[in-house]
């Protein structure tokens, strides 16, 4: 009997030790596989779909519960999986992962800051680690140890993870830029030995990129590495810029100490600083844009193949290009010269989903606004008011307007008032969608007054918190 007890006791202790070792081995080997969004050791299913995730949310708190007396702001929307928000309570800012139904999947209580969207089951943290749906911090299994992440985002080519690697030799330093897809395969690669980088110091460039604090999703003038739309990216050095088109592998260097901005749309690049130019996807300038100078203080925008201009040519016959929308060959498509077109705050007019909201002044300086179609006809006739913000919807746009008494109304592209968000103002700097938003399942998700709202195509609004 005594021997039997000893055998049972030995068996229990062995099982406990085995379980403990298994747990230790699991945590030691956890590296994230972006194809399945879980650790390699778990080998779970693929992308978390927000609708499927919502089926099992009994153990999850709502966004309303997580926010409490504070406010929440949408920072990186991706409602196909999970979106990232930031909760602010006046004392601290906390990142949160939540789904399209407003259920929280993880609240980062430890101070970790999410600096990317949530794609293929993971998001990037400010410490350079990846986090999964439950907040577990892991490394990317296929990323070499000597590479540093500089961008993780969903661009035109899909979800890409950009990294840099430095190699120091007696003949100099080389920095390699690599963009990988989520299966680890290389989508694009270039390095500083290429002639376009010859004016940039590789050591300074690497240090600047590494010390950027993972603010790689910003689009500021001084940000060292940014996405410029389409398949275009920009690297900023101390005395110039290198633009990279990953679609054809072309690189382009511009020697400029001040701002240099180029945006790509449908394979066409529109340069707005230090001068206005239009370039093809090989960075060749279209000759018709030679010496074109804008007569306005705002920055013109290429959108839906049209550009609003009020400009002239500074050489030759000094041709004028009066107020209106032009195509990339400087043909006037919509003549607006009879109106006194104003910026929306500081933003120049542009088309969204076939509509453009215009801010105007009458001859006596009274503000009017209206919405115009691509054929030049009015969808919403000019009326008194000042545009505060403009957001796209699935098929049109939403315009928030203030009247003389500071009463706000939000109106869609056909003039319908959205009574559910009447008197509310979209968060962010006034102008064109200056805060994060997403159109998902025909609804617009955005932030209004520190709360995340879902506005459907019929204008009905529902606050997630």
Phi, psi at 234, each rounded to 5°? -130, 130
pLDDT band at 458 (very low <50, low <70, confident <90, very high): confident
In this prediction, residue 215 carries a pLDDT of: 54
pLDDT digits (tens, 9 = 90+) for 8-60: 344 443 433 333 443 333 333 345 555 444 443 343 333 344 444 444 444 67
- pLDDT for residue 96 is more than 50: yes
**β-pairing verdict for 225-227 and 186-191:** unpaired
Using DSSP bridges, classify how beta strands 367-373 and 306-313 pair: parallel, antiparallel or unpaired. unpaired
Give pLDDT tens digits for 326-373: 999 999 999 999 999 999 988 999 999 999 999 999 999 999 999 999
Does the structure show a pLDDT above 80 at 155?
A: yes
Q: Would you tell me how many other CB atoms lie within 10 Å of the CB of residue 246? A: 21
CB-count burial class (<10 Å; 0-12, 13-18, 19+) for 179 = buried
Whole-angstrom distance, CA of residue 55 vs CA of residue 59:
11
Residues 6+ apart with CB under 8 A from 144: 165
**Average pLDDT estimate for 167-196:** 97
The beta-carbon contacts of 64-67 under 8 Å, at least 24 apart in sequence, are 64/102, 64/464, 64/465, 65/104, 66/96, 66/98, 66/104, 66/107, 66/465, 67/465
Tell me the per-residue pLDDT of 417-457, one tens digit each, with 9 for 90 and over: 887 776 677 766 667 876 789 999 999 999 988 899 999 88
Exposure string for 324-360, b = 16+ CB within 10 A, e = fewer: bbbebebeeebebeebebbbbbebbbbbbeebbbbbb
The mean pLDDT of the chain is 85
Q: Residue 235: which of 157, 317, 162, 304 has the closest Cα?
A: 162
197-223 pLDDT tens trace: 999 999 999 999 988 766 545 555 668
Residue 414: which residues within 8 A CB-CB, separation 6 or more? Answer: 379, 380, 396
Among 82, 78, 107, CA closest to 93? 107
What integer pLDDT is reported at residue 460 of this predicted model? 85
**pTM for the structure as a whole:** 0.84
Residue 340 sits at the vertex; the CA angle it makes with 339 and 342, to the nearest 5 degrees, is 125
Whether the Cβ atoms of residue 63 and residue 97 lie closer than 8 Å to each other: no
pLDDT digits (tens, 9 = 90+) for 229-261: 999 999 998 889 999 999 999 999 999 877 788
- When pLDDT is averaged across residues 175-192 and rounded to a whole number, the result is 97
What pLDDT is recorded for position 45? 39
- Return the higher-pLDDT residue of 461 and 181: 181
> What length is written for the chain?
465
Query: Residue 258 has what pLDDT?
Result: 73
SS (H, E, C) the chain: CHHHHHHHHHHHHHHHHHHHHHHHHHHHHCEEECCCCEECCCCCCCCCCHHHHHHHCCCCCEHHHHHCCCEEEEEECCCCCEEEEEEECCCCEEEEEECCCCEEEEECCCCCCECCCEECCEEEECCCCEECCCCCEEEECCCCCCCEEEEEEEECCEEEEEEEEEEEECCEEEEEEEEECCCCCEEEEEECCCHHHCCCCHHHHHHHHHCCCCCCCCCCCCCCEEECCCCEEEEECCCCEEEEECCCCEEEEECCCCCCEEEEECCEEEEEECCCEEECCCCCECHHHCCEEECCCCCCCEECCEEEEEEEECCCCCCEEEEEEECCCCCEEEECCCCEEECECCECCCCECCEEEEEEECCCCCEEEEEEECCCCEEEEEEECEEEEEEECCCCEEEEEECCCCCEEEEECCCCECHHHCCCCECCCCEECCCCCEEECCEEEEEECCEEEEECCCCCEEECC
φ/ψ of residue 124, rounded to 5: -95, 135
């Amino acid at each position: 009997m005594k021997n039997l007890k000893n055998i049972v006791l030995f068996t229990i202790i062995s099982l406990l030790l085995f379980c403990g070792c298994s747990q230790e081995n699991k945590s030691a080997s956890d590296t994230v596989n972006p194809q399945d969004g879980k650790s390699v050791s778990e080998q779970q299913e693929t992308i978390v779909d927000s609708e499927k995730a919502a089926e099992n949310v009994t153990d999850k708190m709502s966004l309303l519960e997580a926010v409490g007396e504070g406010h929440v702001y949408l920072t990186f929307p991706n409602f196909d999986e999970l979106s990232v928000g930031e909760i602010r309570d006046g004392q601290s800012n906390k990142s949160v992962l939540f789904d399209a139904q407003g259920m929280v999947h993880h609240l980062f209580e430890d101070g970790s800051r999410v600096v990317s969207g949530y794609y293929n089951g993971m998001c990037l943290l400010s410490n350079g680690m990846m986090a999964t749906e439950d907040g577990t911090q892991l490394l990317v299994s296929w990323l070499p140890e000597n590479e540093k992440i500089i961008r993780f985002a969903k661009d035109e080519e899909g979800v890409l993870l950009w990294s840099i690697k430095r190699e120091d030799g007696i003949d100099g330093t080389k920095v390699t830029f690599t963009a990988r897809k989520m299966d680890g395969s290389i989508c694009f690669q270039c390095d500083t030995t290429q002639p376009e980088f010859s004016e940039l110091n590789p050591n300074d460039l690497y240090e600047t990129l590494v010390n950027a604090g993972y603010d790689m999703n910003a689009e500021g003038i001084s940000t060292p590495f940014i996405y410029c739309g389409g398949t275009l990216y920009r690297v900023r050095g101390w005395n110039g810029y290198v633009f990279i088109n990953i679609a054809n592998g072309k690189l382009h260097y511009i020697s400029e100490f001040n701002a240099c901005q180029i945006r790509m749309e449908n394979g066409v690049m529109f340069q707005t600083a230090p001068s206005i130019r239009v370039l093809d996807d090989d960075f060749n300038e279209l000759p018709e844009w030679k010496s074109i100078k804008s007569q306005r203080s705002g920055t013109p925008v290429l959108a839906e193949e049209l550009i609003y201009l009020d400009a002239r040519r500074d050489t030759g016959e000094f041709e004028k290009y009066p107020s209106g929308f032009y195509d990339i060959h400087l043909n006037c498509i919509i003549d607006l010269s009879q109106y006194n077109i104003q910026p929306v705050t500081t933003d120049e007019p542009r088309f969204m989903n076939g509509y453009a909201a215009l801010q105007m002044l009458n001859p006596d300086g009274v503000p009017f606004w209206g919405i115009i179609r691509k054929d030049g006809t009015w969808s919403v006739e000019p009326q008194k008011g000042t545009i505060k913000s403009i957001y796209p919807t699935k098929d049109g746009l939403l315009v928030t307007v203030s009247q003389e008494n500071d009463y706000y109304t939000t109106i869609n592209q056909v003039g319908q008032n959205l009574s559910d968000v009447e008197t509310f103002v979209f968060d962010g700097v006034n102008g064109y969608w200056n805060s994060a938003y997403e159109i998902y399942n025909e609804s617009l998700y955005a932030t209004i007054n520190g709360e995340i709202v879902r506005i459907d195509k019929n204008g009905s609004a529902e606050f997630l918190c």
